[in-house]
Structure 1
């Protein structure tokens, strides 16, 4: 018994030393995370955000819809929404679905008659765009996120300092501020934004929307990469000022972790209007527009999102 006691006694200093090392690692990791978070806040102006009017629709099932708005702002007080998407997450199945709405859709905007869909954000911000989509397509919207393109560049460079891998399908440079060549490349924030915005080819805005969806898929994969975990505190800090949203930091983290817990899901994609359900027209007050078969597009959208009629 005495011999065993002496052996255990010899082990205790080793055990204490190991526990001390683990504790120091936790402290160092926590200190690094806090430091990186604060550095992110500094980049984003200490997390100051302007308030935006938004009334969330009631959650009645497993599906949560996030309205994602990309704004081409050059310092103006009011801007049109260059990108409008709904990211739909099924909490039960962990499915992710992404719907892009063409900005030139001829839409009935509540209180303003008919204009291009991207005018709704200019006229009444997030809430009016939400009401327009509610009215046209009868879909609930529970949260929103607004990001301007300059902030997009910065966030990409924080998330993936080595760039985001994208297959560039053709040479492109017109009106995007960068020159991209065909092939698989790791693009930095400015290059990735240029890729997502390119539309000077035969596909026009429809091709641009496809590239935006491709970028969202690539970013989702990059976000889930273990190598980028060290960048997350700084990214979260910067997002406090770069991204306007109704969600708190805790809600954002909870959502990301909930999605990641179920594995990295693929993203199913859809564009409104769907093929064969639209035609082009022009009006003096609105310019060139896309008119759509609203009933067919509403039905197709509900089927895609798995909404009960």
Structure 2
């Protein structure tokens, strides 16, 4: 009997030791990764959320988690102010199992606190992520408190970390992609090869980033936002279909290139949900052509009808009523 008790105690000690070492490893791993990811905290009182807007959003039956995805365009001079080249409201619709990407047109004229009326992407240059969030919330009647920030040049490393993405390229896109590759090679000191033909092919980080930045084809900036959403959808698909063993590697590789104010628990819960559950991705740009007009005077910009734009945006995010032409990333390509 004593030998049996001794054996049981020994097993318990070993199990506790394993649990303790595992917890210690997990704690150190989490803190190392979180140290890379943690960005500027923004108090709720400084997010620009209007209480009446918040009450209206809370009245919707469908509860949505909105996160502002921001891509910063770094130029050759680090002292120059950075502008937010990409602004996407990522809406996690748990009820309908949808991830909705609402691209905000960067040239939209909006009211920016302290700076009058200017283009939306200038708000980041004026006051960083806090002013950008305030500007998005106040002009589009949103209740966003969380953000994920990435330098557009770091998108190269993010795509390389998932071993590239497959894209279906049109003939007219090839020269613009190659021009982008040339510019990025000069900026980064790399020698990434140019593309030789259209069609389906695996793109590395530099090639895919150059694709995402095209704005000179017929669809202009509207189509550019579609390319950006498609690239994000492809990266999400690669991470989602990765083996469980590969996920920590992806997380550690991607963490240096991302800044967010989401807590660890929020990131873990959200990541587990969108990877393990059958979420599908859709997307659109706002304002749409139906609720805005292009103005070409001293400077080119988009003039939006705020009331109509907010209605379309809220219908899409909260009521699952998509504008006429909606991306559907369940298909091979929306284009």
TM over 0.5: yes
Equivalent residue for 2:315, pick from 299, 303, 306: 303
Q: CA RMSD in A?
A: 3.3
**Inter-partner Cα distance in structure 2 for 1:267 and 1:99:** 11
Q: From the CA coordinates, give the structure whose radius of gyration is larger.
A: 1
Matches for 1:273-292 after TM superposition, within 5 Å: 273-282=287-296, 284=298, 287-292=299-304
Distance 1:303 1:109 in 2: 25
Task: Return the offset for 1:33.
Answer: 9.4
Using the alignment, how far apart are the partners of 2:157 and 2:144 within structure 1? Answer: 27
Distance 2:270 2:71 in 1: 20
Q: What pairs with 1:10-25 in structure 2 (closer than 5 Å)? A: none
Q: How many residues align?
A: 276
CA distance in 2, matches of 1:36, 1:187: 31
114, 120, 125: which one aligns with 1:122: 125
Q: Aligned in 2, Cα 1:48/1:68: closer, same or farther, shift over 3 Å?
A: closer
Deviations 1:147-184 (A, max 9, x none): 002221112211x2x32111113342334125443111
Structure 1 window deviating more from structure 2 (65-74 vs 216-225): it is: 216-225
Deviation at 1:36, TM superposition (A): 9.4
Question: How far apart are residue 270 of structure 1 and its match?
Answer: 1.4
Are 2:69 and 2:148, in contact at CA under 8 Å, matched by a contact in 1?
Answer: yes
So what's the TM-score if we normalise by structure 2? 0.72
SS in 2 for 1:172: helix
Q: How does 1:267-278 map to 2 (within 5 A)?
A: 267-278=281-292
Provide the C-alpha distance between the structure 1 equivalents of 2:72 and 2:286, rounded to a whole number of angstroms.
19
TM-score between the two structures when normalised by the length of structure 1: 0.77
- 1:64 is displaced (CA, Å) by 0.6
Q: Tell me which residue corresponds to 1:176.
A: 180
Gaps of 5+ in 2: 1-17, 183-193, 321-335
Mapped pair 1:252 → 2:256: no
Partner of 2:143: 140
Does the CA contact (< 8 Å) of 1:64 and 1:142 recur in 2? no
* 1:187 equivalenced with 2:203 (yes/no): yes
1: distance between equivalents of 2:280 and 2:74?
A: 31
Give the corresponding residue for 1:65. Answer: 66
1:176 aligned counterpart, secondary structure: helix
TM-fit CA distance, 1:305: 0.9
Query: Cα offset for 1:115?
Result: 0.5
Tell whether the 8 Å contact from 2:37 to 2:260 is kept in structure 1 after alignment.
no
What is the CA distance between 1:293 and its match in structure 2?
1.8
Report if the CA contact (8 A) 2:97-2:280 is conserved: no
